[in-house]
Structure 1
Amino acid sequence: MEPITVQHTFSPIFDKNSRLLILGTVPSVKSRENDFYYGHPQNRFWKLIAILCGEKTPVTKEEKTEMLLRHGIALYDVVERCTIVGSSDSSIKDVVPVDLTPILEQTGNIPIFANGATAEKLYRKYLFPKTGISAVKLPSTSPANAAWSLSRLEEAWREAMEPYLG
């Protein structure tokens, strides 16, 4: 598979009531096809967030967006544009980071959580110098992170995020 240049094409999810921000790396092939975050059916993100929020797993983009906003969760990615092979975070090169200014201007300096090690590493390299807010690295919800069961993910994410969930 050849590397391709991808451009982030969907907007961040946030409003003035957002109390925490979750950042992924860059939309996967399936997410780009679906034009929405965490579009791969095996990615556990939506199931996990629903558990943490005490809700049923949302299905539509609208249900997902409404659940996040209802619970004060902002969602975006670190990478605006990059070169990538398929959906492989380890292949990411030529990074152009997103601009978090519109989110942070509206929400203030809210806690930032990185969905996986690559998201945290890229955030630290490209965005931390601009924001001054350290990101908490959480285990990835990706199906590639099969070593982490849903219950282990829930435990780790809940411990980190519980003070901010509404």
Structure 2
Amino acid sequence: MSDLCAPSLAPVPAPAPVRWQGLPPVASEKTVVLVLGSFPGAASLRAQQYYAHPQNHFWKILQALWPQHPLPAAGPEHYLQRCDWLLARGLGLWDVYASCEREGSLDTSIRNPLVNDFARLLGRCPRLAAVAHNGAESFRHAPAVQASLAAQHRPPLQAVRLPSTSPANASWSFDRKLAAWAAVLSAHRLL
């Protein structure tokens, strides 16, 4: 057998992990509660829209909480209208991580994350009263988020852990998630 046909025993280097960039914040002077996810899933990154996965309960929960205000349709042509709809109700959106390495969409696959700069967001949100963490991975960073906001915000912002709206959170029914989200929004007079 010639050397050209002999099997190579040298290890093949693994491809470098892909570093994903998150989405910009959706926030304004009307934002009272900032909803923080961990990092957008693959469907959201492809669409460049928060909570784009059709099985995610985020938009369905909010429509159920505000039935008198019809949610604009899903799809890229209506995403900015959805963001405006959200902002008009006092909610903002962002994620804990600005970027990370990850395969797939699960939080457990996140590697080498870089946390967003929350202090720079306060200037855009003078009415901000609470940070609602959408799931356990986001809430794990609540102390760091609070610390970055505390230097510029008086009184301290409330940090709340909400059940994740992700389809991976199958242990919570839609109705149970809805009740938890309703309690937080009601406490901040957004219902």
TM-score strictly above 0.5:
yes
Q: CA 1:102–1:50 in 2, change beyond 3 Å: closer, same or farther?
A: farther
Aligned residues: 163
Which amino acid in 2 is paired with 1:6? W
**1:19-38 matched pairs, under 5 angstroms:** 19-38=32-51
1:85 alignment partner, SS class: coil
Deviation track 1:66-125 (CA, whole Å, cap 9, x = no partner) reads 21111011111110011112111012121111112332122234200000011111343x
**Greater mean deviation of Cα atoms: 64-73 or 97-106:** 97-106
Which amino acid in 1 is paired with 2:132? F
- In 2: Cα distance, 1:52 partner to 1:63 partner: 18
**Greater mean deviation of Cα atoms: 131-140 or 111-120:** 131-140
- Report how far residue 134 of structure 1 moved: 4.8
User: Which segments of 5 or more consecutive residues in structure 1 lack a partner in the other structure?
Assistant: none
Q: Are 1:104 and 1:110, in contact at CA under 8 Å, matched by a contact in 2?
A: no
- Report how far residue 149 of structure 1 moved: 1.4
- In 1: Cα distance, 2:173 partner to 2:64 partner: 14
2:140 alignment partner, SS class: helix
Structure possessing the higher radius of gyration over alpha carbons = 2
Q: Is structure 2 residue 184 aligned with structure 1 residue 160?
A: yes
2:20 alignment partner, SS class: strand
TM-score of the superposed pair, with normalisation by structure 1? 0.89
Which amino acid in 1 is paired with 2:27? F
Indicate the percent of aligned positions where both proteins have the same amino acid: 33
TM-score of the superposed pair, with normalisation by structure 2? 0.78
- In 1: Cα distance, 2:172 partner to 2:162 partner: 11
* Aligned twin of 2:103: 85
Which amino acid in 1 is paired with 2:81? E
* Aligned twin of 2:139: 120
Q: Is structure 2 residue 64 aligned with structure 1 residue 51?
A: yes
- In 1: Cα distance, 2:37 partner to 2:44 partner: 12
Instruction: Write out the 4+ residue segments of structure 1 that deviate beyond 6 Å after TM superposition.
Output: none
1:127 alignment partner, SS class: helix
2:122 alignment partner, SS class: helix
